[in-house]
Structure 1
């Protein structure tokens, strides 16, 4: 989300469904607590306890209690409702505060929640995935199993969201940076968090100090490491192609199928591989007539991992384009068919829909270009007109800038 509303966090919850479900609600524990030191919400303790009437962990009205008619969707929506832009109001007795001191406390609470959301749920998680230290240097890789035989038999850790978190970081990178810069304008590095009236020692507190300057540097280091990782896929892909691995053979076959489909469908777009590498696809996209992309000539790069589809493609529009679904660095925000994630054509179809979707749809999950979002959804009619002018200008420029 835009920095002035919230920071999209990457928070993990464990949900245990007992044998009495659905007569009895599941048990829910927040697993993202900074080792029991960080409380992200009045209703989500640093111990991991989630206080909700629907879970029976908080008293409430009868219509708020769990019933067999409810399910996981109701539960997840209830948890999502807690993660609002003003969590201060979630504390009972503080819902309708309006005095100046209360407004100041709300801002102070939101500030430290935002700081810790960035530091713990985003930055620390990505640094762990990328083996990065806070200063940006790589952590030494220490084998968990000194004996190669033990390592070969070891079961890899269950990390279903690792690739998703990396791709979402690339989506929201500019919003994260905007949040750190707004934080730096409102706080001083080294300034201590303010204790709220409803906080106490133990599981109900969250102490710490602001250091948005360091957070900004760490975000930039993560972005650099992810870009380097993406680039390394191409080199790995060359070796995989030489060894004729299953993935490389499959991707080459898919490439031939996609080219044949586009030729049969008489689509003007063109696809080719970089140096014959099946792990790097280039798309030349011709903008449809009578749309904002009329006359445009866009160059889109798909980097595919040697571990595809476990690791999903990373897609960049190399043509500079001002668009609400294109991040400032060119990262394309698209959603492929979840039932066909192993099909590259499904990804290409979803990428094309980014440019052929008509008027933008309000969806905070896809706010990847803060400036475009601000113009279109916060600038009124004048902002929408400016957004469309800037989009058309970059589309027109694409013809002149397209590489030979």
Structure 2
């Protein structure tokens, strides 16, 4: 069936607008040859039980769009076995009035004024701090005693399913899942992703960016034991399968987000393990029933180990990239030449247009490993500081984005304690835009107030706390700057 040109034009316009106004928590993948089928990833809002989880959805647009809404299916549902929300079913159904899957009130139905962004924001709004209230008949219930037990299992399964299960699949980490409930069992050896293949031919499809069209890195998949009892409808099954196979479109993005949010995931595990004992069964909500529920037991000890294994595997990938780059250089791959040319142009650009705030160099003349030094801006917390940053590239860049890390300790709400910066880049294929985006973290003194970008929790608490706490944050940042020069001696 051919696409409707009017619909294609409308979707192209929406996707263009989406790209111009990127959201830190909404991501798209689509193929330019068929934009009627789009996949989206939404990270759960901070301060909710879905905090920074990675949830995928499929959007299939009809030929009469926008007269009729798209068909939307949730893909992150533990193989159709876990209902993450009263309005997000285990079988993938998303109940929203604007999608025509829920009756809603007058004025809440679908209209041609709605579009991709409003759909994703509406889905994200379901991921609230009190999802139990989303169920009709329970929204006005005076008894609050059920809210936290329901939230507790959502928090656990957000980490287990949307983070651990999916990242282990991307990385080829073997795991055994027990389908008698959804409890964790042991996690075995961690192998690295095949994105570290030594082949000079791009072995991994591109990372998605907001509005991007790239694919993802082939990786190993988990092994399962037990007797599964799938309850997903036939239409849902192939779509779900495409979201969890080796070719997941968001693989590289998910890994980079994991590195940024790793400390937060661990913080959640630590906090929740103090509130609920491992081995405790999940609370069962009154609106949950066979085939559309979330059953299981808590096992935070296992989740901690799995998170640590995932972190080690992703870090090892970066090391492998550096090792493999020697062969990419010897073979004079296209990307080797491209990065070398970009380096020469960028170095010249900063020499001519910069007042000394950025200095760029290649490590051992390797175009796949860049170091650049940021000089703190006068009259800011980082005045006089010198901060070295490493960027490691894969031979498939920009399909796979660089792994970036501060080599000099950096105290900043947008930089993890391990040195991973959280930043958005306007042109992912231009290395200078990466450097400029990271530079702004240091050269500009007013961090973003968006909590999804606050990857250093302790720093964020100080910065947005009392006046005394804000002064302590400034003190820590200045101390970081004054000590930074010690690493250049």
State the TM-score, normalizing by the size of structure 2.
0.76
Distance 1:255 1:194 in 2: 56
Verify: 1:21 aligned to 2:65, yes or no: yes
Where does 1:65-76 land on structure 2 (aligned, <5 Å)? 65-76=109-120
For the 8 Å contact 1:3–1:178, the answer to whether it is kept is no
How far the C-alpha of 1:114 sits from its partner, in A, is 0.7
Provide the secondary structure at the position in 1 that maps to 2:404. Answer: strand
Q: State whether residues 299 and 319 of structure 1, in contact with CA within 8 Å, keep that contact through their aligned partners in structure 2.
A: yes
Aligned to 1:403: 488
SS of the aligned residue for 2:367 comes to: strand
Distance, in Å, in 2 between the alignment partners of 1:5 and 1:319 is 34
Q: 2:450 aligns with which of 354, 360, 363?
A: 363
For 1:121 and 1:85, the matched residues in 2 are separated by 18
Q: Is the 8 A contact 2:156 2:298 kept in 1?
A: yes
User: In structure 2, which of residues 271, 281, 284 is the aligned counterpart of residue 182 of structure 1?
Assistant: 271
Structure 1 residues 301 and 220, CA gap change in structure 2 (3 angstroms):
same
Structure 1 distance, partners of 2:296, 2:69, is 35
Distance in 2 (CA, whole Å) between partners of 1:104 and 1:224 is 39
> Aligned pairs, how many?
385
8 A contact 1:3–1:175 mirrored in 2 = no
Q: Does 1:137 align with 2:189?
A: yes
Q: After the TM superposition, which of the residue ranges 230-239 and 170-179 deviates more from structure 2?
A: 230-239
Task: Provide closer, same or farther for how the CA distance between residues 137 and 56 of structure 1 changes in structure 2, counting only shifts above 3 A.
Answer: same
1:218 corresponding residue in structure 2: 306
Say whether residues 1:353 and 2:397 are aligned partners.
no
> For residues 263 and 168 of structure 1, do their structure 2 counterparts lie closer, same or farther at Cα, with a shift above 3 Å needed?
same
SS of the equivalent of 2:361 reads strand
> Does the 8 Å CA contact 2:192/2:316 hold for their aligned counterparts?
no
- Cα 1:44/1:266, change in 2 over 3 Å: closer
User: Cα deviation per residue 1:108-166 (whole Å; 9 max; x = unaligned)?
Assistant: 10010010011001111000000002424146999xxxxxxxx9xxx976532111101
Which residue in 1 is equivalent to 2:322?
234
Of 198, 207, 211, 2:287 maps to 198
Question: Is 2:425 aligned against 1:336?
Answer: yes
CA distance in 1, matches of 2:105, 2:73: 22
1:52 aligns with 2:140: no
Residue 386 (structure 2) aligned to one of 277, 297, 313: 297
Identify if the C-alpha distance between structure 1 residues 158 and 228 changes in structure 2 by more than 3 Å, giving closer, same or farther. closer
Q: What CA distance in whole angstroms lies between the structure 2 residues aligned with 1:65 and 1:43?
A: 16
Cα distance in 2 for partners of 1:361, 1:220 equals 28
Q: Does the alignment pair 1:123 with 2:178?
A: no
SS at match of 1:335: coil
Q: 1:201 to 1:285 in 2, by over 3 A?
A: same
SS in 2 for 1:194: coil
* 1:281-332, Cα deviation, whole Å (9 max, x unpaired): 0112111111111110111111111111111011111111211011010001
Q: Distance in 2 between matches of 1:265 and 1:214?
A: 51
Counterpart of 2:147?
106
**C-alpha contact 1:3 1:182 (8 A) present in aligned 2:** no
Q: Note the C-alpha offset of 1:367.
A: 1.8
Distance 1:141 1:259, change over 3 A: closer
3-state SS of 1:350 partner: helix
Q: 1:95: how far off?
A: 1.8
1:235 deviation in Å?
Answer: 1.0
Moved more, 174-183 or 69-78: 69-78
Counterparts of 1:369 and 1:225 in 2: how far apart (Å)? Answer: 22
> Which residue matches 1:267?
355
SS of 1:299's equivalent in the other structure is strand
CA shift at 1:3, angstroms? 6.5
Would you tell me which structure has more strand in proportion to its own residues? 2
3-state SS of 2:374 partner: strand
Mark the runs of 5 or more structure 1 residues left unpaired by the alignment: 143-150
Unaligned 5+ runs, structure 2: 1-44, 176-186, 195-202, 204-215, 219-245
Is residue 389 from structure 1 mapped to residue 478 from structure 2 by the alignment? no
CA distance in 1, matches of 2:191, 2:89: 31
Match of 1:7 among 42, 47, 51: 51
Question: What do residues 26-66 of structure 1 show as CA deviations (whole Å, max 9, x unaligned)?
Answer: 11010111111111101001010111111111111121000
Indicate the SS of the match to 2:55: coil
Contact 1:284 1:300 survives alignment (8 Å): yes
Residue 288 of structure 1 corresponds to 377
- Structure with greater proportional helix content: 1
1:376 partnered with 2:417: no
- CA separation of 1:136/1:332 partners in 2, compared to 1, >3 Å: closer, same or farther? farther
